[in-house]
Amino acid sequence: MLNLTRRSFFQGATLAVSATRVMGANDRVRVGVVGLGGRGSYHIGAWMETGEVEVTGLCDINQSARERAQAQLEKLGGAKAAAFDDMRKMYEGDTVDAVSIATPNHWHALATIWACEAGKDVYVEKPASHNIHEGWRMVETARQTKRMVQVGMQSRSSPQKRKAIQMLKDGLIGELYMAKGLCFKRRKSIGHTPRIPVPAGIDWNMFLGPAPMQPFSKNRYKYNWHWFWDTGNGDIGNQGVHQIDVCRWGLGLAMPKWAFASGAKYIYHDDQETPNTLLATLGYDRKREIVFEVRGLLTGPEAGLPVSEGNTVGNIFFGSDGWLWMGSEDGGGFRVYKGEKQEQVLNEGPLPGTPSTVLHMRNLLEACRSRKLADLHAPIEEGAISAALCHLANISYRVDSSKLAWDGAGQKFVNNPAADKLLTRQYRKPFVV
């Protein structure tokens, strides 16, 4: 397990740990879901599909979302769950053993920290954090409270991906020197939406939470929050964190020595703040690097990766003896090419079976029962690092730096105060990480 913490870096934490019930091997785990939009509704279905869970809590700042989730749960054969408009109320009681967090990115850290402090285990969606400071704080809290925290990088529970990664580590294509992550995901312009009064049933203050207060507009709500720096991290922190995590996993790497990213928001004139085109390089030494690319505009594929609805998403690994491409989360398969003639020597097609998110959730449930950190496929330590790589790239882009050198011992950049300011954020009280 990677050790991210330093005694001098993590100080002053005030933690209150609640005891949770001791679960037997056959006990059903009681789960509360926080954030009941598109991904949250998927969480409800996936938890029910595990066959090992009772969804006993539903939390969202939107009343209609709570009502839809309750109806979904009933349709899936679940009992009526307690409904909450504030996650802290759900965490206070003893009706949930674990929480499943599907909020916007800017809430991931605080929602996780509060849950750990209340004695709950956690499944938190990717990216683990909204900034680098938050990721390290999540690691510290999870370890001090002895909670199981799984980050929703479900590729790590995909049987095909686990097989491919092991084959890479066993020398399938020789000595690895580069991994590329591709997020060629078509994103159309979000246009402009006006500021309007907050719709009835929405607690806008709680939606913004740690972020600065902003007037309500449709583009800052429902999915498009991904494209604003206050609440999201662009597509590198949305889809891309999956592929960056796979790059890092396959190469066996942690934090890089330097980062560089360039790009822009091309073509569109709309409300979006994050780039729709980004090329990032994360350097480790003279032997290995990670390259990641976002293309949200019309584009062709790369290296034979398939195109699905205009999208090419996946990974390419390069070694001394050949290269391997790997499709995205579920059923993407992988292919291997070797030698000077680049002959295809392996073609693992898509496999039918249980969705990787369901497998990933079952993995957390196993760790909840065993209380063994080593049982987790994507513990918060790993999630925090993969998120940090996305943040490093975004910081380089935002400060327009030719190259950002990372000081691993000091947990900051080398001689770049402007970049250091983006390691954390100004939190809006009382939502402070």
CA atoms of 180 and 317, how far apart (whole Å) = 6
**pLDDT value at residue 24:** 57
Residue 212 in 3-state DSSP?
coil
CA geometry: angle at 144 spanning 55 and 385, to 5°?
A: 80
- Reduced DSSP (H G I as helix, E B as strand, rest coil) percent helix, strand, coil of the chain, to 5: 35, 20, 45
Please state the φ and ψ torsions of residue 37, each to the nearest 5 degrees.
Answer: -80, -150
Among residues 294, 316, 285, 283, the alpha carbon closest in space to that of 237 is found at 294
**pLDDT value at residue 25:** 56
**pLDDT value at residue 241:** 98
**pLDDT value at residue 402:** 81
* pLDDT per residue as tens digits for the range 322-375: 999 998 866 679 999 999 999 999 999 877 889 999 999 999 999 999 999 999
Tokens of residue 374, six digits:
């080593």
CB 282 within 8 Å of CB 292 = yes
CB 34 within 8 Å of CB 4 = no
Site of tokens 């001090």: 144
**pLDDT value at residue 38:** 94
- Domains along the chain? 29-156+356-382 (3.40.50.720), 158-190+221-348 (3.30.360.10)
pTM exceeds 0.85 for this model? yes
From residue 8, give the alpha-carbon distance in Å to each of 4, 109, 141, 333, 410: 12, 21, 15, 44, 10
**pLDDT value at residue 307:** 79
With the CA atoms of 99, 255, 275 and 188 taken in that order, what torsion angle do they form, in degrees rounded to the nearest 10? Answer: -50
Residue 259 in 3-state DSSP?
strand
From residue 292, give the alpha-carbon distance in Å to each of 265, 297, 351: 17, 16, 26
Q: What percent of the chain has pLDDT above 70?
A: 93
**pLDDT value at residue 11:** 35
Q: Check whether the bond before 104 is cis (ω within 30° of 0).
A: no
Among residues 329, 268, 323, 318, the alpha carbon closest in space to that of 290 is found at 318
Low-confidence ranges of the chain (pLDDT < 70): 1-26, 329-331
